Structure 1
Amino acid sequence: MFDAKSLLDQFLGGAGGQTANRQGSGGQRGGGDDLMSRGRDFLTSQGGGLAVGSIAGLLLGSKSGRKIGKKAVTYGGMALVAGLAYKAYQNYKTGQGQDQGAAPAAGSPSQAPIPLEPPKGTGFHPEEVPGGANTMAVTLLSAMIAAAKADGHIDADEQRRIFDKIDEAGLDSEAKAFLMDELRSPLDLDKIVSSASTPEVAAEIYAVSRLAIDPDHAAEKAYLQMLAARLNLDAGLVDEIEIAVREAEEA
């Protein structure tokens, strides 16, 4: 099995706070906080060149809204997704027990930062995910790629460009095969939903899908709405995930 956790870190721009501006894929420019620019900076610092960052940029697009803040990007991909899903879930549960519209109490989960690592025993800790952390990383990568397909920008020409970048990236054969298979296969919501073995995993799948895309087009909005419905996520929890994602973008 390839190191899916490391690949997820690269996709989510785990750049350790590096902020250099770089030219994005396809000639589009991304700022220092751009999720894909962070990924490219990380790979350069590790001697990996720009290839995997370019793959991620092609897969997820280069919209200015796809950003993660300077602080949040230091978490690492899996830790970030687990942390924001955990915080969203805690806020959702707290909100169920208070009057609608009431201001959050001091010290409440809504005022706490996204945790670097969800507590053990919560179902969000990487060591407690069914199948282990690497299997979970595969699930999250698949969810991100599926979300990227929602707006239809990955056509046959774009696939060929991505395949060329995969060949340049220095990935091992299993990682290459995984990415190519995910790209070649049609969007399969059933596959993504079937990976949600627990409510916590369902929340993380939705969270990483939302991180991958900005719902500013009808197709993307429809995809996220359908995904939430198929994952049986309550509307209140979806709202809290949206708030947590925005916090990650701003932190």
Structure 2
Amino acid sequence: MFNIDQIVKALQTDPNTQRTAMTGAAGLAAGMLLSGGGLGKLTGNAVKIGAVAAVGGLAYKAWQSYQQNQSGAPAPVPAQDAFIPAPGDAQGQEELGKTLVRAMIAAAKADGKIDGDEKEAIFAKLESMTLSSAEKAWVFDELSSPLDINAVVARADTPAHAAEIYAASLVAITADTASERAYLDVLASKLKLDPALVAEIHKAAGEKPLEPSPVAASPFAYTPSGSNL
């Protein structure tokens, strides 16, 4: 079984990786989880309860607020274990953890600004991390693969997971470039998230809501400008 939190810990506690993370996708997983714009809400919780529970808790809180603000009779909020697998559900924890880390890595690739030298530095650093060979290989593969927003969306098998995927993507980046904002816009559309729920996720993460796009985001494709991943 993969230890998702060990992957997170290895990335978040390595000062060299943290410095490199500021330049882009090197931040993947927890490197971005502890440096993105919405991380003020998550940093303490990610250390105390783990990254999966921290992101799940953020999405759950956002969903509760979203339902409370709905007019008429609101639909029931999914049970908390729909967002955070039970402590004894190791397989559920691992699968959701992989889904969220994949979402973070994809979001970190959104601006397409990682060059060959930067990728080599990332991969060299990955080799020195305190992870199993299987965990290193998995992260290496995720970093190496081209950005595929449809693959990210395909793992949203429940509305709760869709909200978590968006939350993980949001906290992975600062969303201060047009490409990153466009990525989040398309991601929300593809995940079929109500704009009001998206706004609550931003609020729970301590992030400003996305500005309305001058051109409606296409729900069918996303290609980062200048991507070399």
Q: Judge same fold: TM > 0.5, yes or no.
A: yes
Identity %: 41
* Aligned counterparts of 1:215 and 1:27: Cα–Cα separation in 2: 15
Match in the other structure for 2:109: 149
Match in the other structure for 1:226: 186
Matches within 5 A, 1:124-143: 124-127=83-86, 132-143=92-103
Instruction: Kindly provide the amino acid, as one letter, of the partner of residue 65 in structure 1.
Output: G
Which ranges of structure 1 fall in alignment gaps of 5 or more residues?
Answer: 16-21, 29-53, 99-117
Matches within 5 A, 1:236-247: 236-246=196-206
Count of matched residue pairs: 195
1:65 aligns with 2:59: no
Greater C-alpha Rg: 1
Deviations 1:213-239 (CA, angstroms, capped at 9, x unpaired) = 111110000000000000000000000
**3-state DSSP class of the match of 1:126?**
coil
* Aligned counterparts of 2:158 and 2:30: Cα–Cα separation in 1: 31
Q: CA deviation at 1:85?
A: 0.2
1:25 to 19, 28, 33: 19
* Aligned counterparts of 1:57 and 1:145: Cα–Cα separation in 2: 6
**TM-score, normalised to structure 1's length?**
0.67
Q: Which piece of structure 1 moves more, 55-64 or 212-221? A: 55-64
Instruction: Kindly provide the amino acid, as one letter, of the partner of residue 4 in structure 2.
Output: A
Matches within 5 A, 1:8-47: 8=8, 13=12, 24-26=18-20
- The 1:204/1:236 distance shift into structure 2, 3 A limit, reads same
Q: CA deviation at 1:125?
A: 2.8
Matches within 5 A, 1:204-215: 204-215=164-175
Deviations 1:48-93 (CA, angstroms, capped at 9, x unpaired) = xxxxxx8659974996736435644433211110111001001111
Over the aligned positions, Cα root-mean-square deviation in angstroms equals 3.3
Instruction: Kindly provide the amino acid, as one letter, of the partner of residue 25 in structure 1.
Output: R
* Aligned counterparts of 1:10 and 1:240: Cα–Cα separation in 2: 30
Match in the other structure for 1:2: 2
Contact in 2 for aligned 1:130/1:197 (Cα 8 Å): no
- The 1:138/1:122 distance shift into structure 2, 3 A limit, reads closer
Q: CA deviation at 1:155?
A: 2.4
Contact in 1 for aligned 2:8/2:31 (Cα 8 Å): no
- The 1:131/1:233 distance shift into structure 2, 3 A limit, reads farther
- The 1:80/1:10 distance shift into structure 2, 3 A limit, reads farther
Q: Which piece of structure 1 moves more, 78-87 or 64-73? A: 64-73
Q: CA deviation at 1:6?
A: 3.0
- The 1:9/1:215 distance shift into structure 2, 3 A limit, reads same
Deviations 1:97-142 (CA, angstroms, capped at 9, x unpaired) = 37xxxxxxxxxxxxxxxxxxx9956522313989611111000110
Q: CA deviation at 1:170?
A: 2.9
